[in-house]
Amino acid sequence: MDYSVVFVCLMGMGTVFFGLICIVALCYLMSAVCRGTERKKPTPAAPAVPAGTSDRGELVAAISAALAEELGTDISGIRILSLKKLEN
């Protein structure tokens, strides 16, 4: 039996398309199974710290260290002059 080129091409593309549909269906199924077995654990609430009582020195040190790491310089080369809280 001799198959035409168009038939072979369509069968190949159909097989790939069917395989992709099966993969998507399996992903949805696994997602539903994982969501169903997932146990809801209560997350502990972060302690509320009033904005005025935090230590500004620690905040400046953390920001300086992050900037020094990002810029690839020594922390002594960074001087933060002021901090301003941005409102959303």
Residue 24 inside a domain? The answer is yes
In a domain, 23, yes or no: yes
Which residue, 30, 12, 32, is CA-closest to 22?
30
15: containing domain: 5-38+54-77
Residue 45 pLDDT exceeds 80: no
Confidence bin at 82 (pLDDT 50/70/90):
confident
Q: Say how many domains are in the chain.
A: 1
How many angstroms separate the CA atoms of 85 and 54, rounded? 13
Say how far apart CA 68 and CA 75 lie, in whole Å.
5
Residue 86 counted as domain residue: no
- Local confidence band at 60 (pLDDT 50, 70, 90 cut-offs): confident
Task: Give tens-digit pLDDT for 17-33.
Answer: 999 999 999 999 999 99
Q: How far apart are CA 64 and CA 60, in angstroms?
A: 6
- Give the model's confidence band at 42: pLDDT under 50 very low, under 70 low, under 90 confident, else very high: low
Q: Is residue 25 part of a domain?
A: yes
**31: amino acid identity, one letter:** S
Answer whether residue 14 is part of any domain: yes
